[in-house]
Structure 1
Amino acid sequence: MRISGVIRYVVLLITLLGTWFIMQTYFHHSWKSISLRSWLSATNKPSSEKLPQHKCGNQKSCPQNYFAFKIISGAANVVGPSICFDGLVLMSSVKNNIGRGLNIALVNGTTGQLLNTNTFDMYSGDIKKLETFLQGIKHGTLVLTASYDDAATKMNDKVRAFFTELGSSHVSELGFRDNWVFLGAKGLMNKSPFEKHIKNDKETNKYEGWPELLEVEGCAPRKMD
């Protein structure tokens, strides 16, 4: 018993000495190489320094005299669209100012000031309301549009002509449950480069009965007087 007890103590002593040696030669060196200041600066580093933040969450910043924007269509009839302009969310589910059909925000093309937001039910609504709205848009106004659920059932030739004048290339093709995002302007001389359209096609739809959502972002030039 005495011999076995001595052996156990020797083994325990060797284990303790080995552990102490490893701690001294590896962990002590590692902790010495990391100062408290560098550790705190790494953990408290602002997120803006880790990843550049651009207006509307865009991939890049816009140059002077340009407005950043992002337009996201709805996803099926479940997730609503959103419209952001110059870093401010103009329309979204959180703001509770969106609806089925077309969601439109009007912005002063010179100052960037929000002029109006409205939604138009394109499945069972009164198309005359949209006609009046589009007809009243003043020269130099930016028009940001996002579809949700269905954007075309009630659409007529007159409404399509209005959007074409605003710079749309795809509104003439817009059909039942298609998705569409668009930024145009009253008085635009050319077709807008800020437009996306995807057809409702049961063979390619991401959601049952609806295509995938669309997103367009970029820099809209300020209208200079």
Structure 2
Amino acid sequence: MRVSGVLRLLVPISALVITWVFLHSAGNIHIQTIRLPRWLAPATTKELHAIKSKCGNRKPCTDNSFAFKISSGAANVVGPSICFEDKVLMSPVKNNVGRGLNIVLVNGTTGAMLRDSFFDMYSGDPSLLERFLKEVPEGTLVLVASYDDPGTKMNEQLKKLFSDLGSSSAKQLGFRDSWVFLGARGLKNKSPFEQFLKNNPEENKYDGWPELLELEGCVPRKVF
């Protein structure tokens, strides 16, 4: 009786020991051998970090091109801004924008800023802008943003000068229109970087002004 009792006691103990050894071995195999493929593995912090595009653009530019973003003014309340290669060249914060046309000249090879200025196209002297545009060096990028009223003093000579820089819309620019543009001295064809919105009381987003425009992109070096 004593021997049979001991055997009956050893049977469940042995079963428990065997089960524990099996589970322990299986656990080790699981830990050591199961590996997720690299493309299924959780992304690292470095991989999750989004690539920041210059000027906050939606897409990054290649090394052989310049990133830019041009925003027109909003009515006569918020001034325009011009960013080039992640540097804000003109903006209300920099306090170097004004009513009319805001223009930045950039070297088309190096990307260095040459000059910035704004011209009152409502009550100012259009000959000042004519002289400015005629003196733009060959191979220079010209970035333009409108604010409030860019077209009241837009005469035929100015329209031609902007058209020679690659503009398709300068000829129809009028009172309180919205306009953003990037052209170049020596550009052989019309520029692909331009947006224009006519002042239309029935469609204007703001009271008396169309909505602001925003133009961004990558301009190749030596587009001319």
TM-score > 0.5 by shorter chain: yes
Question: Where does residue 90 of structure 2 map in the other structure?
Answer: 91
Superposition misfits of 4+ residues, deviation over 4 angstroms: 45-50
Distance (whole Å) between structure 2 residues aligned to residue 81 and residue 89 of structure 1: 11
Secondary structure of the residue aligned to 1:103 is strand
Distance (whole Å) between structure 2 residues aligned to residue 101 and residue 79 of structure 1: 13
- The AA in structure 2 aligned to 1:135 is K
Q: Is residue 177 from structure 1 mapped to residue 176 from structure 2 by the alignment? A: yes
- The AA in structure 2 aligned to 1:115 is L
Q: Is residue 130 from structure 1 mapped to residue 126 from structure 2 by the alignment? A: no
Secondary structure of the residue aligned to 2:88 is strand
The within-5 A match list for 1:107-126 is: 107-126=106-125
Question: Where does residue 103 of structure 2 map in the other structure?
Answer: 104
Question: Where does residue 209 of structure 1 map in the other structure?
Answer: 208
Aligned-pair distance for 1:122? 0.2
Q: Any conservation in 1 of the 2:70–2:82 contact (CA below 8 Å)?
A: yes
- Distance 1:66-1:176 versus aligned 2 partners, 3 A rule: same
Give identity over the alignment, percent. 64
- The AA in structure 2 aligned to 1:64 is D
Aligned-pair distance for 1:48? 9.9
Q: TM-score, normalised by structure 2?
A: 0.78
Give ranges in structure 2 of 5+ residues lacking alignment: 1-43
- The AA in structure 2 aligned to 1:206 is K
Secondary structure of the residue aligned to 1:71 is strand
Count of matched residue positions in the alignment of Structure 1 and Structure 2? 181
- Distance 1:119-1:46 versus aligned 2 partners, 3 A rule: farther
Aligned-pair distance for 1:223? 1.2
Secondary structure of the residue aligned to 2:160 is helix
Question: Where does residue 199 of structure 2 map in the other structure?
Answer: 200
Aligned-pair distance for 1:47? 10
Q: TM-score, normalised by structure 1?
A: 0.78
- The AA in structure 1 aligned to 2:178 is N
Aligned-pair distance for 1:51? 3.5
Distance (whole Å) between structure 2 residues aligned to residue 206 and residue 51 of structure 1: 33
Q: Is residue 74 from structure 1 mapped to residue 73 from structure 2 by the alignment? A: yes
Aligned-pair distance for 1:46? 7.9
Secondary structure of the residue aligned to 1:94 is coil
RMSD across aligned C-alpha pairs, in angstroms?
A: 1.8
Secondary structure of the residue aligned to 2:83 is strand
- Quick check: which has more Rg, 1 or 2? 2
- The AA in structure 2 aligned to 1:116 is R
- The AA in structure 1 aligned to 2:192 is P
Q: Any conservation in 1 of the 2:187–2:223 contact (CA below 8 Å)?
A: no
- The AA in structure 2 aligned to 1:142 is L
Aligned-pair distance for 1:171? 0.5
